[in-house]
């Protein structure tokens, strides 16, 4: 045990003095965590994203201004006053999601049910979801505005009188139809007159989406960093693995391995020392990243004890992988190159670049073959997925098994190469 510690401490001391290795093992993963965390929405306390639209008021009436105010008050929209040309150009350039144009005559057309359009919307045809969302918001605003007008008896009477006049002037109506319509509208005005006090109290808002209070699922990431830090942990492990895989070959090319082999220690102990150094580095890197995440980025840990277990399992797994990667070549360049290639693919399919839950189905299926996936999943399980012990058993078992098999295969091959 003392010999293994001596060997491991030597490697850790060398690593601590190698600035470029330290960058890849600690700084690079941290940068990844911060960058991807910010991309995924950062700390979660930010303003909700709003759809940015331009508003052109060509009517410039009391009614159009009131409608514009209604639209501007929406939680979901950021409204920018603009001109028709400028607004449409900004949509084309992607600066605005849409441009809403309140047409001349808006106040006469807006109330409802006429063929004359009250407004136009310029929007990128590919943004169908946003178009539908905006249409819903406009209808909601329209009905809200109508409700407001109905709540005012004078405005309500004027609106119905104007509507009646407009309808009666429609060509093709017979005298009987016109009389019936006039009578209907008069009764309607009387009905809305009785309803006005209720509407004024806001008891019957039109077009407002009924909502049910929903508590956010606790098994969801509370911030972007909850997603990015497991990825960063994977990169930290990968950095450690490449560093130590190369260091085994370096010992051979430098000749220090020969000196170690002359020493009165079994060959397996040399490998055990290297493995101990790699595992210790994995644990230290994971601990450092987690502590930075908690202290500086508000990373929440669902189960600290489980996290300790996961760190141990991941360190075991990646130490074994290190041993296997170290036999992929006889030179530092060969092992460094092949290790980078293998681990990048491992990270790509393991959720180190794209979060697992965003991956397409085929990629998620393929990710099962990447130890990186199981490491990320296990870290997520301890951070925010709230894995039960039974749920955690699967990724942890996979990690330990992959580590043990890789170590055995690598050690055997290494022994053969050095014979």
Partner 1 sequence: MIRIRELRKSYGAIRAVDGISLEFKPGETLGLLGPNGAGKTTIIHILIGATRADSGSIELDGVPDPRVVDARRWIGLAPQVLSLYGELTAEENLRFFGRLYGLSGKRLEERVGWALELAGLADRRGDRVDKYSGGMARRLNLACAIVHDPPFLLLDEPTVGVDPQSRNHIFEKIEALKRDGRTILYTTHYMEEAQRLCDRVAIMDHGRILALGTVNDLIREYGGRSVVEAVLVRLPAPSVALPGTLDGLRLRFETERPLEDVARLTAGGVEFAMLNVHRPDLETVFLALTGRRLRD
Per CB under 8 A, the list member of 264, 305, 362, 390 interacting with partner 1 is 264
Question: Closest by alpha carbon to 236, among 62, 27, 12?
Answer: 27
Largest CA distance in the chain: 117
Rounded to the nearest 5°, which phi and psi values hold at 209? -70, 125
Per CB under 8 A, the list member of 208, 259, 330, 415 interacting with partner 1 is 259
| SS3 of residue 88 by DSSP | helix
6 or 128: CB nearest partner 1: 6
For residue 42, give both structure tokens: 């950062």
Site for partner 1 contains 417 (CB under 8 A): no
Strands 51-57 and 98-102: parallel
Per CB under 8 A, the list member of 170, 179, 187, 418 interacting with partner 1 is 418
Site for partner 1 contains 344 (CB under 8 A): no
2 or 62: CB nearest partner 1: 2
Q: Which range, of 55-63, 263-271, 358-366, 391-399, touches partner 1 by CB under 8 A?
A: 263-271
Site for partner 1 contains 388 (CB under 8 A): no
For residue 245, give both structure tokens: 């895989």
Q: How many residues bind partner 1 (CB under 8 A)?
A: 23
Contacts to partner 1 from residues 2-31, by CB under 8 A: 2-3, 6-7, 10, 13-14, 17-18
Contacts 24+ apart (CB under 8 A), 179-186: 185/160
135 or 253: CB nearest partner 1: 253
> At which residue do the structure tokens 């839950």 appear?
357
200 or 265: CB nearest partner 1: 265
The CA distance from 348 to 371, in Å, is: 11
Shortest Å, Cβ 272 to partner 1: 13
Q: Provide CB contacts within 8 A for 369, sequence distance 6+.
A: 349
Q: Provide CB contacts within 8 A for 230, sequence distance 6+.
A: 351, 375, 376, 379, 380, 383
Question: Closest by alpha carbon to 304, among 226, 224, 231, 381?
Answer: 381
209 or 419: CB nearest partner 1: 419
| Contact string (CB under 8 A) for partner 1, positions 116-145, x = contact | ------------------------------
Distances, alpha carbon 393 to alpha carbons 202, 306, 368, 377, 388, in Å: 55, 11, 15, 11, 9
The CA distance from 30 to 293, in Å, is: 9
250 or 373: CB nearest partner 1: 250
The CA distance from 165 to 153, in Å, is: 18
Shortest Å, Cβ 259 to partner 1: 5
Shortest Å, Cβ 243 to partner 1: 13
Give the count of beta carbons closer than 10 Å to the beta carbon of residue 408. 13
Contacts to partner 1 from residues 197-256, by CB under 8 A: 254-256
183 or 253: CB nearest partner 1: 253
Site for partner 1 contains 260 (CB under 8 A): yes
Per CB under 8 A, the list member of 258, 344, 393, 417 interacting with partner 1 is 258
Site for partner 1 contains 286 (CB under 8 A): no
15 or 290: CB nearest partner 1: 15
Per CB under 8 A, the list member of 214, 262, 295, 305 interacting with partner 1 is 262
Contacts with partner 1 by CB under 8 A lie at 2-3, 6-7, 10, 13-14, 17-18, 254-256, 258-266, 418-419
């Amino acid at each position: 045990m003392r010999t293994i510690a001596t060997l491991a401490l030597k490697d850790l001391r060398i690593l601590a003095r190698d600035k470029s290795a330290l960058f890849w093992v600690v700084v690079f993963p941290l940068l990844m965590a911060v960058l991807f965390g910010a991309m995924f929405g950062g700390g979660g306390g930010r303003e909700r994203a709003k759809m940015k639209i331009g508003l052109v008021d060509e009517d410039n009436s009391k009614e159009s201004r009131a409608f514009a105010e209604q639209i501007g008050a929406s939680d979901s929209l950021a409204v920018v006053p603009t001109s028709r040309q400028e607004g449409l150009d900004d949509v084309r350039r992607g600066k605005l999601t849409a441009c809403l144009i309140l047409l001349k005559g808006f106040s006469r057309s807006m109330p409802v049910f006429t063929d004359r359009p009250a407004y136009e919307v310029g929007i990128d045809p590919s943004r169908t979801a946003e178009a539908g969302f905006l249409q819903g918001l406009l209808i909601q605003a329209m009905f809200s505005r109508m409700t407001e007008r109905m709540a005012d008896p004078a405005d309500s009477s004027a609106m119905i009188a104007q509507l009646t006049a407009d309808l009666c002037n429609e060509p093709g109506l017979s005298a009987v139809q016109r009389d019936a319509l006039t009578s209907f509208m008069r009764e309607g005005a009387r009905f809305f007159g009785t309803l006005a006090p209720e509407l004024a109290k806001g008891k019957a808002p039109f077009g407002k989406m009924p909502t049910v209070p929903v508590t956010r699922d606790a098994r969801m990431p509370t911030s972007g960093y909850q997603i990015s830090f497991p990825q960063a942990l994977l990169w930290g492990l990968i950095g450690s693995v490449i560093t130590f895989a190369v260091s085994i070959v370096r010992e051979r090319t430098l000749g220090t391995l020969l000196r170690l082999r002359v020493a009165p220690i079994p060959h397996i102990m040399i490998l055990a020392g290297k493995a101990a150094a790699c595992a210790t580095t994995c644990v230290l890197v994971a601990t450092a990243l987690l502590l930075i995440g908690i202290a500086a980025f508000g990373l929440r840990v669902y189960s600290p004890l489980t996290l300790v277990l996961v760190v141990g399992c991941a360190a075991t797994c990646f130490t074994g992988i290190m041993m296997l990667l170290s036999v992929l070549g006889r030179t530092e360049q060969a092992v460094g190159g092949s290790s980078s290639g293998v681990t990048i693919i491992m990270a790509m399919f393991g959720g180190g670049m794209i979060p697992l839950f965003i991956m397409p189905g085929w990629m998620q299926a393929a990710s099962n073959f990447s130890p990186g996936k199981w490491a990320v999943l296990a870290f997520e399980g301890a951070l925010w997925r709230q894995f039960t012990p039974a749920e955690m058993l699967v990724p942890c078992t996979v990690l330990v098994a992959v580590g043990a098999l890789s170590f055995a295969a690598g050690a055997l091959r290494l022994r053969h190469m050095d014979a």
